[in-house]
Chains A and B, each alone.
Chain A
Amino acid sequence: MYKYDEYDQQMVDARVAEFADQVKRRLAGEITEDQFKPLRLMNGLYLQLHAYMLRVAVPYGTLDGRQMRMLAHIARKYDRDYGHFTTRQNIQYNWIKLEDAPAILADLASVEMHAIQTSGNCIRNISSDQWAGAAADELTDPRPWAELLRQWSSFHPEFSYLPRKFKIAVIAAEEDRAAMRLHDIGIQIVEKDGVHGAAFYVGGGMGRTPMIAPLIKDFVPLDDLLSYTEACLRVYNRYGRRDNIYKARIKILIHELGADEYRRQVEEEFAHVKSLGIDPPKAEFDRIAAQFAMPPLEASASDKVDRTDPDFAVWVDQNVAAHKVPGHAIVNISLKPLGGIPGDASSAQIDLMADLAERYSHDELRVTHAQNIVLPHVRKADLFAIWQALDAADLATPNLDLISDIIACPGLDYCSLANARSIPVAQKIAQRFADPARQRDLGELKLKISGCINACGHHHAGHIGILGVDRKGTENYQLLLGGSGAEDVSLGTITGPGFDEDGIVDAIERVTDKYLSERTDGERFVDTYRRVGMAPFKEAIYG
């Protein structure tokens, strides 16, 4: 994985010094909260309901054992002994003191980490496929391109006061594990006539106006990647709406202009921008790519897995995925234990995952947008030992992509924007479907919960989505069906009137019962929904 050189380190160190100075001026009353707000936000520091929340960047979700251990250290020293992994492949700490923030950033910088641009109206942390570099189905590792974009977008002087936040994802497989088309820019590395290029999807997003990004350019030569991205951003910075925060994302601009007109403007800008020489030479890409080389995996490792222990066998079937090198596998660690808080991990659990990465996964971990953790390069022969260690730490729940593998935003328990709680609803649903055999029978079922219309819990993209709203002072939950954030991307449709906290759990059970009675062989929930439509489900829910 990527290692900082002196330049990268110096950038992060300068940022720590800058923010320490800004905090000092704020605490001394030299700058107002209004002036301080965008500065702290660009360092990942939000003011939440009860305390400051710090969001730490995990670029494209990749980190090593030493970095993971630092995340545990921060949870232990500055927070309440746990952290929350997010849908942006980052980690958040919910109980931070403003005066501690500079020290935390300094601790992070000591392990090549930061909180730069994890918030604010700037280009956010670049996200990617959590199985990048390991997946059997990928064209190439997308992360070198993501790293190139990370450096280009860091402290970008023109694009630090955009109309609104800006999220970029890069993938390189047909299977989309990063919700690529629900980003402001989704880039897919593709192949044409034996040459790799980038397909640009621009103007996707969730929030209160969900949109699937249209294809703006099917093949951008990789030598033009940064110029083309810069052109996309410049058109947005100049013409994106600034009169209404809810209409300021690039998706609205593209929706209002139309994809063809936006493309025309980008092409015109690109013709100019390309002449500026902002694209690094291939040598720079090669320097970065060399650091993402496949670790030295044993080519002769055995494919055999001893499945004698039935619980272990269930976990292997559910949470272990195919690796591109024989004898190896990708381990998905569920942060969704029964009754737990989706995405939360204690310091001890974070340390344990760091240990396992160092011992069994060539010192590499990934954070997934579904709020789980991945050990990407594991020998199949080590799977049993890993499972035993995870099981002892309540990290071996065999529910990847099942109904209890719920994405949930922090909701009204933490967030100042929320209208309703998300966590208790996630816990009640997981309890209702606690029987593992029942979950496996339901098969792949992506359930996503947001506690407000801003959709941090990706409810639009859930096979089953839940949106918490405030209805006359009480929490009310709307139900959506048929969304997907994967390569079969789609937006969910609201079933009808909402429910209270227990009612929504009952409604979901009626939906899954209906699916079981309607499905044909091999159909996932979302396939059945797409085939039969909303009507039978509506009938089952509302009678």
Chain B
Amino acid sequence: MVEHLQADGEEPCVTLDAFLDQSNATAVRLESDEDARALIPFLDRLKLIEVAFPKFRDGRGYSSARILREAGYSGELRAQGDVLVDQIGYLKRCGFDSFAPEKDLNPADVEAALTRWPEHYQGAADGAVPIWKLRHG
């Protein structure tokens, strides 16, 4: 079993296979090629789901995040790996609320990226009201 140690005091994430086998873990790591829907029966007791971004170009994690949020997951959803400032805005819109980038991000750049867009065209998993709804009240 591979464990990915996080911050001090945090329960380590187990792999999806290990999670599905054992079951009392509350933190799981989802690789980019794993099916987020496998976790849906267990969302109530999960506190942390870490989604892997092995390369920033690998966009499967965006769909994984939305699927988990759409299924009602309300715990921590973390993007881990090749997470760069220019993807942060999209990641947040898809439901990620924490980030574990391999390389540190400049906080000012992150702030700029997250406040760049006042509104959004489409609904996603961040609760933003889409522009079409703003237009029609």
Q: Are the chains A and B members of one assembly?
A: yes
Name 7 A/B residue pairs within 8 A (Cβ), A-sorted.
Answer: A38-B56, A152-B122, A155-B90, A157-B94, A161-B62, A162-B59, A280-B132
Closest to A230 in B: B122
Which residues in B have some Cβ–Cβ distance to A below 8 Å?
56-60, 62-64, 66, 70, 84, 86-87, 89-91, 93-94, 109, 112-113, 116-124, 130-136
| B-side contacts of A296, CB under 8 Å | none
Known: A157-B94, A159-B59, A160-B90. 4 other contacts (CB 8 A): A10-B118, A39-B86, A158-B90, A237-B60
| From A10, A18, A157, A287, contact of B90 by CB (8 A) | A157
CB–CB B119/A11 < 8 A: yes
The smallest C-beta distance from B115 to any residue of chain A, in angstroms, reads 10
Question: Once the chains are docked, how many angstroms separate the CA of A456 from the CA of B101?
Answer: 37
Question: Once the chains are docked, how many angstroms separate the CA of A123 from the CA of B56?
Answer: 17
| B-side contacts of A160, CB under 8 Å | 59, 62, 90
| A-side contacts of B113, CB under 8 Å | 18
CB–CB A10/B119 < 8 A: yes
The smallest C-beta distance from A232 to any residue of chain B, in angstroms, reads 13
Question: Once the chains are docked, how many angstroms separate the CA of A234 from the CA of B124?
Answer: 13
The smallest C-beta distance from B113 to any residue of chain A, in angstroms, reads 8
| From B70, B90, B121, contact of A11 by CB (8 A) | B121
Closest to A151 in B: B121
Question: Once the chains are docked, how many angstroms separate the CA of A281 from the CA of B117?
Answer: 23
| B-side contacts of A276, CB under 8 Å | 70, 123
| B-side contacts of A151, CB under 8 Å | 121-122, 131-132
CB–CB A161/B57 < 8 A: yes
CB–CB B131/A7 < 8 A: yes
**Secondary structure type dominating chain B contacts:** helix
The smallest C-beta distance from B137 to any residue of chain A, in angstroms, reads 10
Size class of the contact patch on chain A? 35 or more
CB–CB B63/A7 < 8 A: no
CB–CB B121/A161 < 8 A: no
CB–CB A17/B135 < 8 A: no
CB–CB A242/B58 < 8 A: yes
Question: Once the chains are docked, how many angstroms separate the CA of A211 from the CA of B122?
Answer: 31
Question: Once the chains are docked, how many angstroms separate the CA of A277 from the CA of B70?
Answer: 11
CB–CB B135/A5 < 8 A: yes
The smallest C-beta distance from B132 to any residue of chain A, in angstroms, reads 4
With A158-B66, A276-B70 as given contacts, are A17 and B122 in contact (CB-CB < 8 Å)? no
Question: Once the chains are docked, how many angstroms separate the CA of A155 from the CA of B90?
Answer: 8
Q: How would residues 235 to 268 of chain A score, 1 for a CB under 8 Å from any chain B CB and 0 otherwise?
A: 0011000100000000000000000000000000
CB–CB A283/B59 < 8 A: no
CB–CB A11/B122 < 8 A: no
| B-side contacts of A238, CB under 8 Å | 60, 63-64
Say whether A272 faces chain B, with CB atoms less than 8 Å apart: yes
CB–CB B136/A283 < 8 A: yes
Question: Once the chains are docked, how many angstroms separate the CA of A258 from the CA of B130?
Answer: 35
CB–CB A157/B93 < 8 A: yes
Q: How would residues 1 to 31 of chain A score, 1 for a CB under 8 Å from any chain B CB and 0 otherwise?
A: 0000101001100100110011001000000
Question: Once the chains are docked, how many angstroms separate the CA of A155 from the CA of B109?
Answer: 19
